[in-house]
A and B are shown apart, each in its own frame.
Chain A
Amino acid sequence: EVQLVESGGVVVQPGGSLRLSCAASGFTFDDYTMHWVRQAPGKGLEWVSLISWDGGSTYYADSVKGRFTISRDNSKNSLYLQMNSLRTEDTALYYCAKDIARRELLYYFDYWGQGTLVTVSS
């Protein structure tokens, strides 16, 4: 059974930093592109970033480019999101999501975690 478990969400002040983690199990982690998608309270879904199965390709939404860094450790079946220079508008539930395609960049999601809440507030 595929499981994605996010952690690391806390309350942080504007300008602060945070690292989110996602522990994956139930599939061959290093065969799949992984994504972060966020959802502000009461709002819709916003794609944040992706990293290819081998870590060789990364992409970011313009809203986080230069501030967030996605990475993965295939030996630990883990995905990360380093978040710097946080803004109040980054407040959201952050989901990690598995891409549907094996060793391809297909950009959609067949499994999601339950999310970890990041609150940026003074």
Chain B
Amino acid sequence: DIQMTQSPSSLSASVGDRVTITCQASQDISNYLNWYQQKPGKAPKLLIYDASNLETGVPSRFSGSGSGTDFTFTISSLQPEDIATYYCQQYDNLPVTFGPGTKVDIK
């Protein structure tokens, strides 16, 4: 199975700050990497697919980059409504696997 790691596991930032989360795969997954946002008590929501493509309707302050084994997710200007846990997910191989999540809070 492909193992996904994320860092940091949690972070606290101020409104307007730039926030960056990294995700690393245990083997080359090309760009078969997605990012989801999960707000407390809610189902996950797809934000970024194929490493860098913004899902329809998702604000442009969210972005993703990377390929191979190393990926980055960025919120360019953190907003209060961005409080959530963010997960990366690889779909290069079954089983689909998720990173452990990064919890983002407002300072």
Contacts and interface: CB of A to CB of B under 8 A. Distances in A.
B55 interface: yes
Chain B interface size, as a band, is 20 to 34
A106 B98 contact: no
A44 B55 contact: no
A59 B95 CA distance: 8
Contacts of B49: 100, 108
Contacts of B99: 44
Main secondary structure of the interface of A (DSSP, over half): strand
Contacts of A115: 43
* Interface size grouping (class) on chain A: 20 to 34
Given A45-B98, A47-B97, A95 B43 contact: yes
Given A44-B87, A95-B43, A115-B43, A108 B34 contact: yes
Nearest to B93: A107
A37 B45 CA distance: 13
